[in-house]
Amino acid sequence: MKAEEILELFRQFAPNANKLWAYFVSIITWIHSTFTKYRRGMEVTERTLRIDVGESGFLARVAAPVSAAVFRDEAECAGIMIEGHGTLMGRPMSQLRDILSAVGVTCTDSMPLRLKGSIRPGTIEVDGSGGSQSVSGLMFALPLLDSPSEIIVYNPVSVPYIRLSAKILSEYGVKTEIINDYKRLKILIPAPQKYSLSRVPGNNMCVAGDVWGDGIRNGGIRGMDIHDGDWSAAAAFLCAAAICGRCSVTGLRKDSFQADRAVLGALREAGAFVRENGGTYTVMRSPLYGFSFDCTDCPDLIPVLSAFAVYCEGITEIKGLSRLAGKESDRAASIVHLLSKAGVVHSREGDVLHIEGMSLTRRLLSGSMPAPGVYETFSDHRIVMAVMLLGLPAADIVPDDYAPLAKSMPRFKELWDSVTGSDRQYDMVDRVV
């Protein structure tokens, strides 16, 4: 397949794709077609090769090792610079720096990243407590080298995403092997290998529901062509249904490696009705109670589950706040700010957040709905989703900006409004039964 054909395929594929899968496709497309002798899409100066990754932390953590593997001459001589924009510029990169140092590449610990030295194969020992993205970056880069490598990950977190990386690589002809070894992971990577972009796998995700009694009936919204339905975005819809009505989401794989599939466990723990039938997940409103849930491997769920817990009767305990450092915002502080503005009793003890919730019915009868207003979202897409969920039954709670949603799911608000009927917010309270 010619590079132009691949790029055209990606242009057709990307507009409605969930961002996580788009990242993977863009990286593989990048490795397969852009890294040619012409270096299409790259700005090559006499001194430095510059690569712009937009606002994506994941793409930065993959671009660094992959570019050091592919552009060895530039990495050894003038160096490589990974540039970005927006909130990415303030996100820490110390774990990436340490990992690259272990394979012979020097790297700054903040954006823009400045790389020097070509990546070398071998046995690499990694502290995985800082997250899985830099590990995934190595998994994309090491198959391109001349000799095999082994990554040993100590204190691994977000392990499902490491397995997801391996699965995606396998679908493009790249072999890896993951071995559980007590409290560490071994990742065996044969080399040299080549990526095969003979196809871009896909399926269809569709959100449908009747959250307020007048949403989508007997049908759905045309979904997004994606490889694996985005459990992170779907979590907000499923939690909304548990609070307010009914929602069905299709295109979510039961065998997905996405860590955020764990939202089903949180919903069941809270007492929600959850049913799965042939890839369609349906959640219906039911009495909800405080729950205890460990989000260490799925930290992206914490904002939405925090908003969900506001409408669960009793105390909810959410573990994993330490995993929120270095996100688009200081995400733990953003969640605390949201709960404080809402007037919800909460406390933080180290890695654990406690939230004192009330059922929606009791909040309505006692006049204890979350405080109205425009809520600051700190340019963080997950906080925007949490505010939208918090405000679903409350009519007059809105985020200060919807633009961050474009980072992970550009059509999120469109789907949300279609399913929840939130274009008529001020009628919502009267529709609760």
Question: Are 92 and 219 within one domain?
Answer: no
In sequence order, what are the residues at sequence separation of 6 or more whose Cβ sits closer than 8 angstroms to the Cβ of residue 147? 121, 122, 191, 192
Burial of 11 (0-12, 13-18, 19+ CB in 10 A): exposed
Do 189 and 150 touch, CB atoms closer than 8 A? Answer: yes
Which of 136, 158, 189 terminates a domain? The answer is 189
pLDDT of res. 363: 94
pLDDT of res. 27: 62
179: tokens are: 């071995």
Tell me: the pLDDT tens digits for 191-200?
A: 999 888 654 4
Classify residue 216: in a domain, yes or no. Answer: yes
pLDDT of res. 103: 93
161: tokens are: 């995403």
Q: Looking only at Cα atoms, what is the longest distance across the chain?
A: 69
Q: Which domain holds residue 372?
A: 203-431
Taking the CA of residue 57 as centre, how many other CA atoms within 13 Å lie in the half-sphere pointing to its CB?
23
Range with top average pLDDT, 51-60, 366-375, 393-402? 366-375
Do 150 and 6 touch, CB atoms closer than 8 A? Answer: no
CATH number for the domain spanning 68: value is: 3.65.10.10
Classify residue 140: in a domain, yes or no. Answer: yes
Q: Tokens 């039938």 sit at which residue?
A: 277
Which of 189, 222, 250 terminates a domain? The answer is 189
Classify residue 194: in a domain, yes or no. Answer: no
**352, β-bridge pairs:** 319, 349
Classify residue 93: in a domain, yes or no. Answer: yes
Tell me: the pLDDT tens digits for 393-414?
A: 977 999 999 999 988 888 899 9
pLDDT of res. 29: 61
Question: Are 178 and 220 within one domain?
Answer: no
> Alpha-carbon distance 74 to 118, whole Å?
8
Q: At CA 376, angle to CA 372 and CA 382, rounded to 5?
A: 105
Q: What is the DSSP letter of 433?
A: -
Do 211 and 360 touch, CB atoms closer than 8 A? Answer: no
Do 264 and 281 touch, CB atoms closer than 8 A? Answer: yes
pLDDT of res. 46: 47
Question: Are 295 and 424 within one domain?
Answer: yes
Question: Are 209 and 176 within one domain?
Answer: no
Classify residue 195: in a domain, yes or no. Answer: no
pLDDT confidence band for 207 (50 / 70 / 90): low
- Mean of the per-residue pLDDT values of the chain: 81
Mean pLDDT of 313-320: 97
Do 79 and 48 touch, CB atoms closer than 8 A? Answer: yes
Classify residue 121: in a domain, yes or no. Answer: yes
Question: Are 215 and 327 within one domain?
Answer: yes
DSSP string of 77-96? TT-EEEE--GGGGGS--HHH
Question: Are 253 and 321 within one domain?
Answer: yes
pLDDT confidence band for 168 (50 / 70 / 90): confident
Q: In one letter, which amino acid is 70?
A: V
In sequence order, what are the residues at sequence separation of 6 or more whose Cβ sits closer than 8 angstroms to the Cβ of residue 5? none
Q: Tokens 């990307």 sit at which residue?
A: 14
Q: In one letter, which amino acid is 351?
A: D
Mean pLDDT of 36-57: 63
> Alpha-carbon distance 92 to 57, whole Å?
9
Question: Are 41 and 153 within one domain?
Answer: yes
pLDDT of res. 254: 84
Which of 165, 189, 213 terminates a domain? The answer is 189
Question: Are 33 and 94 within one domain?
Answer: yes
pLDDT exceeds 50 at position 83: yes
Question: Are 331 and 416 within one domain?
Answer: yes
The number of beta carbons lying within 10 Å of the beta carbon of residue 97 is 19
> Alpha-carbon distance 194 to 226, whole Å?
23
Classify residue 197: in a domain, yes or no. Answer: no
52-56, 177-181, 309-313, 429-433: the lowest-pLDDT one: 429-433
> Alpha-carbon distance 57 to 166, whole Å?
19
Question: Are 150 and 294 within one domain?
Answer: no
Directed axis angle between helix 263-270 and helix 231-244, to 10°? 20
Question: Are 322 and 387 within one domain?
Answer: yes
Count of structural domains within the chain? 2
Question: Are 214 and 176 within one domain?
Answer: no
User: Measured on CA atoms in the order 417, 421, 423, 427, is the torsion positive or negative?
Assistant: negative
Mean pLDDT of 177-189: 90
Classify residue 196: in a domain, yes or no. Answer: no
Cα Rg of the chain (Å, integer):
22
Tell me: the pLDDT tens digits for 321-343?
A: 998 877 888 899 999 999 999 99
**114, β-bridge pairs:** 81
Directed axis angle between helix 412-420 and helix 231-244, to 10°? 20
Tell me: the pLDDT tens digits for 259-300?
A: 899 999 999 999 999 999 887 899 999 999 999 999 999 999
